[in-house]
Structure 1
Amino acid sequence: MVAAPTILLFMIAASNLAEVAALVGDPARANMLAALMDGRALTATELAFMARVTPQTASAHLAKLSDSHLLAVTKQGRHRYFRLASPLVGRMLEGIMAVAAIEAPQRHRPPSVKDAALRQARTCYDHLAGRLGVALADALTARGHVVLGDDGGTVTDSGTAFFQAIGIDLATSHKRQRCFCRPCLDWSERRPHLAGSLGAALADAAFAQGWIERLRDTRAVGITAAGREQMVRLFGPELSTVFFSTEN
């Protein structure tokens, strides 16, 4: 027989799961959360535009997401900025999107330029995803710099030297209050890209060195001419064919 406290904890957990699922399941709130998956903070006005709802409706949705600790709010002057409350929320959203892409019924929708850009290269909370993220993960593992398992990963001695050479301080990455290195199933490629604080550090370095740049009103990122040259040089010639393809 299952103990009464265990049953109570199970019921509480199930109730919380249902509450979070209901919050994420609303189309407008889902669009808002997806817009914040690049790790940046946005205003209520920006999120209302992305969710295609009125400012009043957006405020009601944002209040529910904040009260449930899915979003964090920062006040700056007259404005309030909303961001995902933690990497855990981002990871939950990544998982939902991966399952939805694989298991959900296929819906016919003509491909768009925006869809192609997202599949090519995008941010997934604070790390890189799409063809770019998967190709970088493939290159790092093929060269023995990173070893990825089902739930985590490690950096080898050669990887330590490689990351230091491109300006990534692994000691600082280790100090972040989160998993250091892990695979993350890419919803569009259906293969893993690199996540964790190491994945975030790699994305930071790519932005800082001008390899990639943010595109307006989307999580997609553009790959610069200098970025193509440098990433092919550093990660291998495979990127020139696997990654910089414009095919959907």
Structure 2
Amino acid sequence: MDSIARAVDTASVPRLAALAALLADETRAAVCLALLDRRAWTGGELARHCGVAPSTISEHLTRLVDGGLLVQERQGRHRYVRLADPGVARMVEDLAAYATPVPGTPATSLRAHSAGEAMAKGRTCYDHLAGRLGVAITDALTTRGLLRQDAGFALTDGGVAWLTDLGADLTTTGKRPLVRPCLDWTERRPHLAGTAGAELCRLVLTMGWAERIGSGRAVRTTALGRAEFERTLGIGAEQFELV
């Protein structure tokens, strides 16, 4: 058995090294972080976002697609890319949690500081809510007995009923769990992910409880959302500083 285990470990070495090499480049890392918003981006959009030439971004996108981190589709003259699946998104977000700057590290510009603050307050993590907003919702669900965290993440019967009443489709497909914890890279605490987390994010945005800020991942609560979060979950605006 030990020889078999060693053989498996040895076979994994080149794959792990290749994966690490894909994300070791700052432009490719920036692409993966941008695509955590779950949208499909064109090469031109990503080139402008990363501040590189279109020819340069094309080379990076080809490597990421060939490496299995991105998938692409063509519509006319445009090539769109997105993260390959939720598993890749989870890996990128988890790595970002470990790569968070040391607390107190100054931002390089006022714009960077403002963007960082907005992302810390609330953002989408692929298809679920993160930042102080996501953590506050997760804590409120737990306090109200809708979510259990004592032995991993699990919705209670009340939690299933609450989400279903909101309009959530909790049907799971493939290997995706109904709920799972996702380590928040700014709060360093878990927020709700999985099918339930994705459905809650979808509903919060479609019902107008929160809205996106510009074209990025940052989100903020609306006046309606603040009222509904307090009414349904007892969350005050000061808990996630999204006033």
TM-score for both structures, normalised by structure 1: 0.90
Q: Distance in 1 between matches of 2:196 and 2:182?
A: 12
| Unaligned 5+ runs, structure 1 | none
Q: Distance in 2 between matches of 1:244 and 1:167?
A: 27
TM-score for both structures, normalised by structure 2: 0.91
Q: Distance in 2 between matches of 1:46 and 1:135?
A: 32
* 1:184 is aligned to 2:179: no
Q: 1:234 deviation in Å?
A: 1.2
Q: Give 2:61's aligned amino acid.
A: L
Q: Give 1:182's aligned amino acid.
A: R
Q: 1:22 deviation in Å?
A: 1.1
Q: Distance in 2 between matches of 1:69 and 1:148?
A: 33
Q: 1:177 deviation in Å?
A: 4.1
Q: Distance in 2 between matches of 1:117 and 1:105?
A: 16
- Cα deviation digits, residues 77-131 of structure 1 (max 9, x gap): 22111100011111111111111227x6974325611111000100001100001
Q: Which residue of 2 aligns with 1:242?
A: 239
Q: Distance in 2 between matches of 1:115 and 1:212?
A: 18
Q: Which residue of 2 aligns with 1:86?
A: 85
Matched-pair contact (CA < 8 Å) for 1:211–1:230:
yes
Written as runs of structure 1 = structure 2, the 5 A alignment for 1:103-122 is: 107-109=105-107, 112-122=113-123
Q: Give 2:240's aligned amino acid.
A: F
Written as runs of structure 1 = structure 2, the 5 A alignment for 1:149-188 is: 152-170=152-170, 172=171, 174-175=172-173, 177-188=175-186
Q: Give 1:168's aligned amino acid.
A: A
- Cα deviation digits, residues 147-190 of structure 1 (max 9, x gap): 1356x4221121122112211132x2x23641210111101011
Q: Which residue of 1 aligns with 2:72?
A: 73
Give the percent of matched residue pairs that are identical in Structure 1 and Structure 2: 45
Matched-pair contact (CA < 8 Å) for 1:181–1:196:
yes
Q: Which residue of 2 aligns with 1:135?
A: 136
Q: Give 1:135's aligned amino acid.
A: A
Match of 2:178, SS state, is: coil
Q: 1:245 deviation in Å?
A: 4.6
Q: What count of residue pairs does the alignment treat as equivalent?
A: 240
Q: Give 1:139's aligned amino acid.
A: A
Written as runs of structure 1 = structure 2, the 5 A alignment for 1:6-25 is: 6-25=5-24
